[in-house]
Chains A and B, each alone.
Chain A
């Protein structure tokens, strides 16, 4: 007996992502999902972002890592609420993990929830967590060929941060080639160049976030 089904296999996660988004909306919270390779500088960028916005904006962070709570400890030192999710080897966060993490915050007291995904340019791009915008961080030492190699990530992103630009003089990273490749995949994708070390671009990035706040 042949049974026609036509059922989205990942429907459960998509439904839960919508639940998360509605929950965040009901508290007027703006949420971003930051994705990158391991070592692109997500956590350092976050530390500096929190320093930059502290006082003005109430931020909470969800840290996704395979193992350890090292990143959560670093973010916790900045004085913001943080929940560590350990995926125990899993290569991405999914909406059910975010659902659990959100329950641990006092949402009424927040403006922004930042989700730092597991370092991986592949799987996280296909999972909707219930965030409002997806941000891909790419760092200069990784090379300018990444958009072509990981097209879905750049295609799905709402914003791209080119990080560690202070290293450009020491690298063969060709910014024009990079921008050209990104444009083919996502013509309207905004790119912000930053260095969390020298502070370049950080004010612009901070303002970008502030402009998104719904309160």
Chain B
């Protein structure tokens, strides 16, 4: 359960934008979260609702875009999508993960407000 820590830091980043652009109200906030960040969408949403109470973000929509976990195969060098629940090996040759290319990112993409 590290969603509260994530939302706490997200709020900090949003607050910066609110001050920078002198926003009175935030309608939508979009974040990009890689599949490997372990973010549970329902928990994140719950934390967001609690943390935004009595702030310009109250009742705003939190949009979570998931980024696939892509890896470079250690054997054939091809890029493949590995996911929890599978055995993580390359579907083409059965090789393992040489390098994770994406899936660890966690960033604030945009905010929509006035």
Tell me the A residues contacting B by CB distance below 8 Å.
1-10, 12-13, 90-92, 94, 122-123, 126, 148, 151-152, 155, 181, 183-187
Contacts and interface: CB of A to CB of B under 8 A. Distances in A.
Q: Identify whether the interface residues of A are mostly helix, strand, loop, or mixed.
A: mixed
B87 interface: yes
A3 B74 contact: no
Nearest to B36: A152
Given A2-B110, A2-B112, A155 B38 contact: no
A10 to B, nearest CB: 6
Contacts of A8: 105-107
B109 interface: yes
Given A2-B110, A151-B88, A187-B98, A123 B38 contact: yes
Given A181-B87, A185-B88, A9 B31 contact: yes
A9 B108 contact: yes
B55 interface: no
Q: Identify whether the interface residues of B are mostly helix, strand, loop, or mixed.
A: mixed
B112 A1 contact: yes
B111 A3 contact: yes
Contacts of B74: 187
The residue in B5, B74, B114 that gathers the most chain A C-beta atoms within 10 A of its C-beta is: B5
B21 A94 contact: no
Contacts, number: 88
B84 A151 contact: yes
B108 A90 contact: no
16 contacts: A3-B111, A7-B13, A9-B6, A9-B106, A123-B1, A126-B38, A148-B88, A151-B36, A151-B84, A151-B88, A155-B100, A184-B88, A186-B97, A187-B95, A187-B96, A187-B97
B66 interface: no
B41 to A, nearest CB: 15
Contacts of A181: 87
The residue in A2, A91, A152, A181 that gathers the most chain B C-beta atoms within 10 A of its C-beta is: A152
Contacts of B12: 12
A126 B31 contact: no
A155 B97 contact: yes
Nearest to A148: B87
Given A148-B87, A152-B36, A187-B74, A5 B113 contact: no
Nearest to A183: B96
Interface in B42-94: 74, 82, 84, 87-89
Given A148-B87, A184-B96, A91 B110 contact: no
Contacts of B2: 91-92, 123, 126
